DNA sequence: CTAAATACGACTAAAAAAGACGTATTTAAA
DNA sequence: TTTAAATACGTCTTTTTTAGTCGTATTTAG
């Protein structure tokens, strides 16, 4: 599993849609929601949240709407997540906010260090992934991915062989 | 946000605990659950699942218990996740199993390709992370992490400066 | 035989995510 | 100046997922 949040998906949908438009052109939340079949309310809230964080610019009133206001090549997937869900924390003992119910195992727990490591690495991974790279199909196919996969496949085969 | 599943945490706790023991020594689920204060049932189920997948070996009866049966340096965090939660799929349109309710936006959706890319990259990331590396504090501090962080910090500073 | 352990299926409770509703505000245009 | 179409928010309900519990069978050392 490991599903990403739906809000993030909606944000990607909206960004991908708006990215294809001419600079300065506005897009209404309703336009996106009807086009892609997602609930207007949710899409609206997502865009409002992104507006507050400065990723999109909003214009009110009739003929109002949203437009992307930052270069997506310079916005990481981590930033997008943070805008919509707050700081990444793979376990609840990390980033303990006031009022949040802390983990009752804290103190006895033997994996705080591993979990902290994982959290750091995941953030690094998300930080290294720009929205442009994610949304642009050209980027997806480049990046010399194939060699990596072959190496992985070879490693897998070796591991399987070893287990016998 | 972006929390990892609790089962995975329990698995890490158990593995870390068993890793410190002499080879061949068994550990009862109860020992772990009482020591770290997690529910016995859940820990038990997790260990049983790992037993079925061959990561640990179980011995029944009185004085029974579990022991690690594979070299954790050769088991990836991806594998652990898969053992407990099934294949990683960041969106529900990926790995559509029989019976699972598919995404109603499929067909209209404009981000299937980005999401597929993200899924692949996340799997690669998890595959490149061994359980030994995660659980062993020695590994955590090595790995030349600091240079990467400095590079990231510099990139961040540049991005912030640019926005103004 | 008994106690202590794994093994498993089914159920319940809690938490989180997703979505719906209601209303106020802004603004272009009729 | 009225109206329609849009953003902006706050609250609520529903749904889904996750976490935890209960009950019982099976295995095995002592
Ligand atoms: S179990 Fe350990 S790592 Fe997980 S949240 Fe609790 S204290 Fe943190
Ligand atoms: S919204 Fe698009 S990407 Fe997300 S699950 Fe549905 S079809 Fe897949």
Q: Going from the N-terminus, what domains does chain A have, and what CATH number goes with each?
A: 1-70 (1.10.10.10), 71-164 (no CATH)
Predicted local confidence at residue B138, as pLDDT: 76
Predicted local confidence at residue B1, as pLDDT: 79
- Average pLDDT (A61-84) is 98
pLDDT at A159 > cutoff 70: no
Distance separating alpha carbons of residues A135 and A128, to the nearest angstrom: 14
Q: Between residues 101 and 140 of chain A, which touch chain B (CB distance below 8 Å)?
A: 104-105, 108-111, 113-115, 117-118, 120-122, 124-125, 127, 129, 134-135, 137, 140
Asked if B1 and A88 come within 8 Å (Cβ–Cβ), the reply is: yes
Predicted local confidence at residue B101, as pLDDT: 60
Using DSSP, state whether B102 is helix, strand or coil. coil
% of chain A at pLDDT higher than 70: 80
End-to-end CA distance of chain B: 29
Q: What is the pTM of this model?
A: 0.86
Burial of B9 (0-12, 13-18, 19+ CB in 10 A): buried
**In terms of pLDDT, which residue wins out, A1 or B125?**
B125
Listed in order, strand segments (DSSP E) in chain A are 56-59, 65-68
Tens-digit pLDDT profile for residues A96-129: 765 566 798 999 999 999 999 999 999 999 999 9
- Average pLDDT (B66-70) is 98
Do the Cβ atoms of B148 and A120 come closer than 8 Å?
no
- Average pLDDT (B15-38) is 97
Distance separating alpha carbons of residues B60 and B47, to the nearest angstrom: 13
Half-sphere exposure of A57 (CA within 13 A, CB side): 10
Sort residue B146 into left (φ over 0), alpha (ψ -120 to 50) or beta: alpha
Cα(A129) to ligand 2 centroid in Å equals 19
Cα angle, residue A66 at apex, residues A63 and A70 outer, rounded to 5°? 145
% of chain A at pLDDT higher than 90: 76
**In terms of pLDDT, which residue wins out, A120 or A159?**
A120
pLDDT at B91 > cutoff 70: yes
- Average pLDDT (A47-62) is 98
Q: Specify the DSSP class assigned to residue A74.
A: G
Instruction: Say which residues have a Cβ less than 8 Å from residue A69's Cβ, sequence separation at least 6.
Output: A54, A55, A56, A57
Predicted local confidence at residue A97, as pLDDT: 61
**Spatial CA neighbour of B135 closest among B44, B48, B18, B39:** B18
What is the average pLDDT value for chain A, to the nearest integer? 86
Tens-digit pLDDT profile for residues B27-44: 999 999 999 999 999 999
Do the Cβ atoms of B27 and B64 come closer than 8 Å?
no
**In terms of pLDDT, which residue wins out, B147 or B74?**
B74
pLDDT at B152 > cutoff 50: no
Cα(B113) to ligand 2 centroid in Å equals 10
Nearest CA to ligand 2 atom 8: B93
**In terms of pLDDT, which residue wins out, A124 or A144?**
A124
What is the average pLDDT value for chain B, to the nearest integer? 86
Predicted local confidence at residue A139, as pLDDT: 63
Instruction: Say which residues have a Cβ less than 8 Å from residue B40's Cβ, sequence separation at least 6.
Output: B29, B30, B33, B34
Listed in order, strand segments (DSSP E) in chain B are 56-59, 65-68
- Average pLDDT (A19-40) is 97
pLDDT category at B117 given cuts 50, 70, 90 is very high
Predicted local confidence at residue A125, as pLDDT: 98
Residues of B in Cβ contact (< 8 Å) with A104 = 37
Instruction: Report the b/e string of A148-157 with b at 16+ CB within 10 A.
Output: eeeeeeeeee
- Average pLDDT (A56-77) is 98
Asked if A110 and B37 come within 8 Å (Cβ–Cβ), the reply is: no
pLDDT at B160 > cutoff 90: no
pLDDT category at A138 given cuts 50, 70, 90 is confident
Do the Cβ atoms of B86 and B96 come closer than 8 Å?
no
């Amino acid at each position: 599993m490991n599903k990403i949040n739906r809000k993030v998906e909606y944000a990607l949908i909206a960004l991908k849609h708006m990215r294809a438009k001419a600079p300065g052109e506005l897009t209404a939340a309703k336009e996106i929601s009807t086009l892609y079949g997602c609930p207007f309310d949710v899409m609206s809230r997502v865009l409002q949240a992104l507006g507050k964080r400065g990723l999109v610019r909003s214009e009110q009133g009739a003929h109002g709407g949203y437009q992307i206001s930052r270069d997506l090549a310079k916005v990481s997937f981590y930033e997008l997540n943070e805008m919509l869900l707050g700081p990444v924390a793979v376990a609840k003992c990390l980033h303990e906010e006031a009022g949040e119910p802390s983990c009752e195992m804290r103190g006895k727990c033997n994996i705080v260090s591993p979990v902290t490591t994982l959290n750091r690495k995941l953030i690094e991974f998300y930080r290294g992934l720009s929205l442009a790279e994610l949304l642009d199909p050209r980027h997806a196919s480049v990046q010399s991915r194939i060699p990596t996969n072959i190496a992985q496949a070879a490693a897998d085969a070796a591991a399987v062989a070893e287990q016998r």
